[in-house]
């Protein structure tokens, strides 16, 4: 399984990978250190090896970098995929001020782990 992420999504993805390792799931994490230029070769090569991908970002699902990454995976390594590309992003709501609501809106390690499990079937 490949997780492609950047920014704060990296820390949630690393936490999720630790949880998943305890379940016997191997995760390769690609940290997009730059978004322009986007290092497509690295994440496309990883997905071609693992045959599954989950894209994690703290931005909204609509129109974000994660959507571009998922599109490139679908366009470039579609025939290598064993499952649809999973995505974890912020809920499509204005970011709440209250800490408990903010935590509910933003991606969490548990949501990342759930997306990986769903992609694995």
Q: Which CATH number belongs to the domain containing residue 51 in this structure? A: 3.40.50.920
Range of the domain at 16: 2-120
| For range 29-39, the mean pLDDT | 95
Residue 30 has a pLDDT of 98
Residue 82 has a pLDDT of 97
Residue 111 has a pLDDT of 97
Residue 38 has a pLDDT of 94
In sequence order, the 6+-apart residues with CB closer than 8 A to the CB of 7 are 57, 58
Query: What is the per-residue pLDDT across 78-116, written as a single tens digit (0 to 9) for each?
Result: 999 999 999 999 999 999 999 999 999 999 999 999 999
| For range 31-52, the mean pLDDT | 96
Sign of the four-CA dihedral 26, 36, 66, 42: negative
- In order of 25, 95, 121, the CA distances from 58 in angstroms are 23, 11, 24
Number of structural domains in the chain: 1
Confidence of residue 53 (pLDDT cuts 50, 70, 90): very high
């Amino acid at each position: 399984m490949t997780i492609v992420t950047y920014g704060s999504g990296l820390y949630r993805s690393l936490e999720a990978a630790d949880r998943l390792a305890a379940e016997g799931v191997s995760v390769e994490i690609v940290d997009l250190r730059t978004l322009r230029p986007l290092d497509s070769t690295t994440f496309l090569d990883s997905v071609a090896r693992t045959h599954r991908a989950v894209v994690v970002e703290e931005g909204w699902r609509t129109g974000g970098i994660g959507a571009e990454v998922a599109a490139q995976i679908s366009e470039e390594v579609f025939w290598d995929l064993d499952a649809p590309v999973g995505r974890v992003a912020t809920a499509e709501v204005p970011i709440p001020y209250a800490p408990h609501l903010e935590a509910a809106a933003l991606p969490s390690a548990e949501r990342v782990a759930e997306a990986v499990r769903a992609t694995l079937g």
